[in-house]
Homo-oligomer: A and B are copies of this chain.
């Protein structure tokens, strides 16, 4: 049914190898035969069978993207899918296909990856840091299989990874506050020991400290990242009775509130609205990430946005380089912040 290289060879009156060479643009073929073969191929509407080509060449031209693909993941973790789109686009540009594979604790990450390597079903893998463990890392390193981890693992490792620099994002937030002289400033974070929140807080505070503004601990609030807690924190912060001010050690309504994430910002926005304050005149209002909620808030926060799609593109480019150059070692922070 399908037209193969054989059919083209017959029609053009040449050998199969010659057709192959024409299809691959070898320059040793005479112009005349090239034309004859191309004409035959065109007439038969011949397209090389991609799987056969890769099989003969001993590669797959396929990269597997490993991540959690559970029900609801698209809503709880949309950034991951944006990264995935970035990776995909870059891989396609480099002539690779991309397959998906589910990986989570239940899916036995180590066995999944061992199978990929043994069955040679891909030339490389892109995998999310959140689903990788020490045993899996050891396996990848041991087999020296081309890989790239998105989001650096929380243990010592020799894996190749890329990540966003949340501390730097925190510094950008500090920069905004400084530029608008919106002091004193209050940082409302997630839980104290949460990685991303901690990094953002650290960058924020250290940037301001370098510029002679100390953000004291009583100007940092930890929450469990619900909008309610954000709302309550903001109500408390923004409602200092001016008569109390001197009494409570110089407490005053802050010039700005920085929310570590979108959900907290929902509550803070609601509090600002309820108190009839205007942004940024009465209080500047800042958060991280445009999505999922910042666009529908009123008042609307300023946003420190990280272009994660582009991080995906970078990751895609890196895995391609890794495949061509297995010795390559990459561990880097890629941050493309944009003030929106």
Contact = CB atoms under 8 A, between A and B. Distances in A.
Contacts of A69: 84-85, 88-89
A69 B65 CA distance: 14
A227 to B, nearest CB: 5
Interface in A234-258: none
Contact of A98 (B2, B52, B54, B100): B100
A81 B74 CA distance: 6
Nearest to A274: B273
B97 A99 contact: yes
Interface residues of A, number: 52
Contact of A82 (B72, B86, B101, B290): B72
Contact of A120 (B49, B84, B120): B49
A136 interface: no
A89 B68 CA distance: 11
Interface string A75-109: 10011111011101100100001111110000000
A150 to B, nearest CB: 14
Contacts of A62: 99
A45 B118 contact: yes
Given A48-B119, A292-B292, A293-B296, 15 more contacts: A2-B118, A50-B121, A51-B51, A51-B54, A51-B121, A72-B82, A74-B74, A74-B78, A75-B78, A75-B290, A92-B101, A98-B100, A100-B100, A227-B296, A270-B298
30 contacts: A2-B118, A2-B120, A47-B115, A47-B118, A47-B119, A49-B120, A50-B119, A52-B55, A55-B55, A62-B99, A69-B89, A70-B85, A71-B85, A71-B309, A73-B85, A75-B82, A75-B292, A78-B78, A81-B81, A88-B102, A89-B102, A92-B101, A97-B101, A97-B121, A98-B99, A100-B100, A227-B296, A263-B296, A270-B298, A293-B296
